[in-house]
Structure 1
Amino acid sequence: MSGSFSRSQTVRKPGVTVDGKGVVAAQHVRAAEAGVRVLADGGDAVDAAVAVSFAIGVLEPWMSGPAGGGAMMLWRADEGKAYALNYGMRSSASLDPAFYPLAGTGKASDLFPWEAVVEDRNVTGASSVAVPGTVAGAGEMHRRFGKMRWADLLRPAIGFAREGLLIDWYAALIIASSARDLAEDADAAALFLEDGQWPKIFGWTALSDVRLDQSKMAETLEHLAHAGPEDFYRGDIAAALVKDVSEKGGFLTADDLAAYRAEWQEPLNIPYRSGNLWAMPEMTAGPTLAAAMAKWQQVYTPAYAPDATSFTAIAAAYRDAYAERLATMGDHESPRAPGCTTHFSIVDRNGNMVAMTQTLLSIFGSRTVSPATGLLLNNGIMWFDPEPGRPNSLGPGKRCLMNVCPVIGEAGEKRFALGASGGRKIMPAVGQIASFLMDYGMSMQDAIEAPRIDVSGGDQTVADERLTGAVTDALAATGPVMTAQRTPFPYAFACPAGVMREGTVNSGTTETFSPWGDGVAEPDE
């Protein structure tokens, strides 16, 4: 199938297929290349995931980074077993909910339609910063399963940071979309903006070499490489982060960082047709995915290809599952919110897999930079409802509810690792792509490129415009429908990345319209 850029053009991303070699699919091709170099040097999927995690935090800094959080699913081929690791953010134990009074002016201006808080204190600035978990997650995964030296795995990210991120058209567009908020923090403005208001880019830039100065981040990563991940929580980096956040008005403390632990959890098993999915449990989108897939596999039998019957069943199941999520978990993110996360998937030559999602929450997180470390800081406090007495109300020492949905799946001889970025749009995309792989025998490329729908809260269904006709007519009989194109910016749908293994053949690809994303294969020896 082909992705539609306009009614007179089709666009495809070929992805990659290789026998006996590893594959990395990531939202930035240079991060994927760093991962396959680790595989070629003798590392396995976990080692590559550590390298990609830090590399993509440099190359796509507005989506994720060391000062964020997330979750990952792992498949250990030698054990035939899935593992789930939650490294989501937490609110500070010292957080004072009274510091976030309601403004009485309507809804907040970012991802969640909470009641607005005075000065957007839960949305931007240091007061929106939660305790980060990404480094703890990477460190714990490496401690348990890693084969290569921690310091070697951070080398690609350090090199990228020393170079500085090239500001091409896409980077300039992303920075421009948040320039007003970035200008509010002097350190963020100095890193991303020119004269406090424009991206660091001038005119037509096809031949230019304008780069961010990420030298301070390079120093932090160099220190982390030699001191180990614990330094981020109980060492020099921890002290620097606490000082910077405190001086800018946040609640982060040394005790918060020292007490933080990534948590191994029992994976959520989702039987599906004759196969299985393993997803994150608890405060993620995994339980909502399980509820949706249980409903729709009961009400239709897959035909030759996805059709009006399957899409209407999927839409109804998603609508019911999200109604339950909204009522019981307090996830009220706008379904039209922009994508602001990153996901990558890895399979090595032995069949070990990682599906890893990491985020700063909003694009550019809190729009605040720690000057001592050069790191963009998350705005995880925005995940909480500022009104008291709700399922997800703001409070001290609480785990943040996430929309991340990394999965491991298997059907017959096929096994895959999959996930996406895109807030509430993540889970509907992951579920449909998994169905395309398991119900219709699609390749990973065809499954990711196939038209899909988004139903992620509320009555409206958003359908890929390629479904116009029988599918949209059937959907319209059950509620309001709008159609949308797959475009590079903004995303109307989630941005997936997946890898698949059949026998010894590995493949992988990313969202067709992800400008920097791609699947990359381990090079020949």
Structure 2
Amino acid sequence: MTHRAAPSGDRPTGRITGTRSPVCARSGMIATSQPLASAAGLQALQEGGNAIDAAVTAAAVLAVVEPTMTGVGGDLFAIVHDGRSGTLKGLNSSGRAGSRADPDALTARGLAAMPLHGPLTVTVPGSVAGWAGLLQEYGSIRLARALAPAIHYAREGFPVSEIVAAQWDAVAPRLATDAEASRVLLPGGRAPAAGTIFRNPDLAATLEQIASGGPEAVYGGPIGAAIAAHVAGRGGFLTVADLAAHRADWVEPVSTTYRGHRVHELPPNTQGFVALEMLNILEGYDVRSMGHNSADYLHVYAEAKRIAFADRAAHLADPARVPSALLQLLVSKEYAAERRKQIDGRRAAPRYEPAPPQPYVGRGPRSGPAVERRGDTVYLAAADRFGNVISLINSLFDSFGSGLVVPGTGIALHSRGAGFTLRAGHPNRLAPGKRPAHTLVPAFLAGEHTVMAFGVMGADNQAQAHAQIVANMVDFGMNVQETGEVARVRHLEEGLALESGVSEPVRAELRARGHAVHDGRGLMGGYQAVRLDRRTGVLEGGSDPRKDGLAIGW
């Protein structure tokens, strides 16, 4: 028997684009991809903590209960809205390539591109430095308090949620090739099924070391020594000194306006400018009159994405390799107007070139960050009664990252080094101490009286999904829950992936305009958001049904 949920149009409100209402509260709000993490963050708020305390607490729990996506061995970015000053500040806690990184040695071994997994993809993990940095700058609790719920779930166990179980099972064959990953992550030789209890006592002990020793336990301490020794023993690039040198950097977000709203993203090495460039291009069209997910709208959306991604492929790299003048050009209205002229409203272009100035134009397969990945990430948003709002993203890049687990620690190491290129002359070429081009990017949408932290998980999907989220709210009037529920699209190198909510006539018209159309199921990541109305103090939260998550407030 086939069971179908009641159509959202059957709801008493008559709104057809959401299956449930936004969550509303005044004292605090948090939205994450796992209910256990949301509950831990809510408890931190109820005990008197602020939004940053709640976010770090929830992020640590996610590192335990959604281990496919995030962990101690990953990277972190965040944007914080300070309730007192009303200002935004960004945090970049992505790690750098090890001091032994040698692209020439890799090409001499016959590699044309960075591998997707394994020891060569492991850069310094920045998660713990990010957690500690957020608490030091804005928090009211100690790191040990923030880690307590995560330690509990790692030691006592937690029931594996449905979507996490499916992701775990999909990557089990790769985990089975690594002895420690198999021992820790495949109990009984298989991925845990949904609803079964999973424990990671090694990770509990690691988190306790961090709670007592602070981030120094990772960056120069015994945990870092274990990471460096394991990666080096497998042929990777890291040393203890590389971990000891890691610092999380506070940065200024980059922004643009979209029909009177301001959209804030993070600068390189994140792809935030890509979302802003897309929105600047789309602003030149009457998107509302085109209709949501119409052929006209999706065509110009896909072409705007292709233009912005051509620029991403040429320019996205370590912050030191992206000049400020270039970044300001890429997010300017004037530049978008020139790029918009290249779009044929009736036909998909065969190719878009990056516009000058061009430090490098990638050609051929795997030319650096042009490579499109599914990506595995967690995103969360939180707000408190003081007006603080945080947008935070944490990731291993791919499911369980590199596939390596450090013996005795329970830590799965990320694969962020896969974002480098080996192409000579490219600003994103692998080099010691360089940060790779990064897909992770948290965001904010600010109106006259509102600020909303939002994000969408899913590697290369993130920037293009940000553009959809903003258009859904600004052009089509959707609320904080609806905007994450409606059918999304994702442009990939092989064509335009559409979810089932996009009609067949629209699909046919897109094909007629030259787009290869594909099934988008499982490719759209997951959205979370929290919005503050500064006039009333009311908080609204939304959580994507594509994940296991929950928005909750009090």
The two structures have a TM-score, normalised by structure 1, of 0.87
1:301-450 alignment, distance < 5 Å: 302-303=288-289, 306=292, 308=294, 309-329=296-316, 331-332=368-369, 334-335=371-372, 337-450=373-486
Question: What is the CA-CA distance between 1:234 and the residue it aligns to?
Answer: 2.5
In the alignment, what sits opposite 2:349? none
Contact 2:73–2:126 (CA<8 Å) still a contact in 1? yes
> Greater share of strand residues, 1 or 2?
1
CA distance in 2, matches of 1:15, 1:9: 15
Are positions 1:285 and 2:271 aligned together? yes
Query: Partners of 1:151 and 1:314 in 2: how far apart?
Result: 45
Describe the SS at the equivalent of 1:403. coil
Distance 1:470 1:74, change over 3 A: farther
SS at match of 2:70: coil
Cα deviation for residue 341 of structure 1 reads 1.1
Corresponding residue for residue 43 of structure 1: 49
Contact 2:75 2:93 in 1 (8 A): yes
1:246 equivalent among 232, 255, 267: 232
Q: 1:500 matched to which residue of 2?
A: 531
Query: How big is the alpha-carbon RMSD for the aligned residues of Structure 1 and Structure 2?
Result: 2.5
Query: What whole-Å deviation, never above 9, does each CA across 1:235-272 have from its counterpart, x for those lacking one?
Result: 23222322333333322111111111111111101111
> Is 1:180 aligned with 2:185?
no
1:251-295 CA distances to partner (integer Å, 9 max, x unpaired)?
A: 211111111111111110111111101110121111111111111
Which residue number corresponds to residue 476 of structure 1?
Answer: 511
**In 2 relative to 1, CA 20–304 (structure 1 residues): closer, same or farther, beyond 3 Å?**
farther
Q: Hey, what's the Cα distance between the residues in 1 that align with 2:237 and 2:34?
A: 33
Contact 2:29–2:553 under 8 Å retained in 1: yes
Q: Is the Cα contact below 8 Å between 1:14 and 1:509 reproduced in 2? A: no
Other structure's SS at 2:481 match: helix
In 2, distance between residues paired with 1:456 and 1:141? Answer: 34
1:509 pairs, out of 529, 542, 545, with 542
Q: Indicate conservation of the 8 Å contact 1:16/1:521, yes or no.
A: no
Given that 1:15 and 1:520 are in contact with CA atoms closer than 8 Å, whether structure 2 keeps it comes out as no
- What is the rounded CA distance, in whole Å, between the counterparts of 2:510 and 2:34 in structure 1? 35
Asked whether the 8 Å contact 1:126–1:249 carries over to 2, the reply is yes
1:219 is paired with a residue whose SS is helix
SS of the residue corresponding to residue 30 of structure 2 reads: strand
| Structure 1 portions without partners, runs of 5+ | 105-113
One-letter identity of the residue aligned with 2:26: G
After superposition, residues 451-462 of structure 1 pair within 5 angstroms as: 451-457=487-493, 460-462=495-497
TM-score, scaled relative to structure 2:
0.82
Conservation of the 8 A alpha-carbon contact between 2:101 and 2:432: yes
CA offset at residue 384 of structure 1? 1.1
Shift in alpha-carbon separation, 1:149–1:167, aligned structure 2, 3 A: closer
Q: How far does the alpha carbon of each residue in 1:316-338 deviate from its partner, in whole angstroms, 9 at most, with x for none?
A: 21121112212333544554x43
Residue 469 and residue 240 in structure 1: after superposition, are their counterparts in 2 closer, same or farther (change >3 A)?
closer
Once residues 150 and 297 of structure 1 are traced to their aligned partners in structure 2, the CA distance between those partners, rounded to angstroms, is: 43
Letter in 1 for 2:32: A
Distance in 1 of aligned mates of 2:207 and 2:517: 45
Contact 1:77–1:352 (CA under 8 A) maintained in structure 2: yes
Structure 1 residue 123 corresponds to structure 2 residue 154: no
Q: How far apart, CA to CA, are the structure 2 residues paired with 1:79 and 1:101?
A: 50
Pairing 1:147–2:140 present: yes
Q: Hey, what's the Cα distance between the residues in 1 that align with 2:276 and 2:463?
A: 10
Asked if 1:227 corresponds to 2:233, the answer is no
Hey, what's the Cα distance between the residues in 2 that align with 1:315 and 1:216? 45
Amino acid at match of 2:217: D
1:497 Cα offset (Å): 1.1
Structure 2 runs not aligned, ≥5 long = 9-17, 317-366
| Other-structure match for 1:199 | 191
Whole-angstrom CA distance in 1 between matches of 2:188 and 2:155? 23
Structure 2 CA distance for partners of 1:161 and 1:43, relative to 1, 3 Å: same
- Give the 3 Å change call, closer, same or farther, for CA 67–187 of structure 1 in structure 2: same
- Tell me which residue corresponds to 2:12: none
Whether the 8 Å CA contact 1:92–1:253 is kept in 2: the answer is: yes
Deviation at 1:162, TM superposition (A): 0.9
Q: CA deviation at 1:465?
A: 2.7
Match 1:261 to one of 247, 250, 256: 247
Q: Does structure 2 retain, via aligned residues, the 8 Å contact 1:76–1:82?
A: yes
Change in CA separation of 1:511 and 1:169 when aligned onto 2, cut-off 3 Å: closer
Say whether 1:274 aligns with 2:309: no
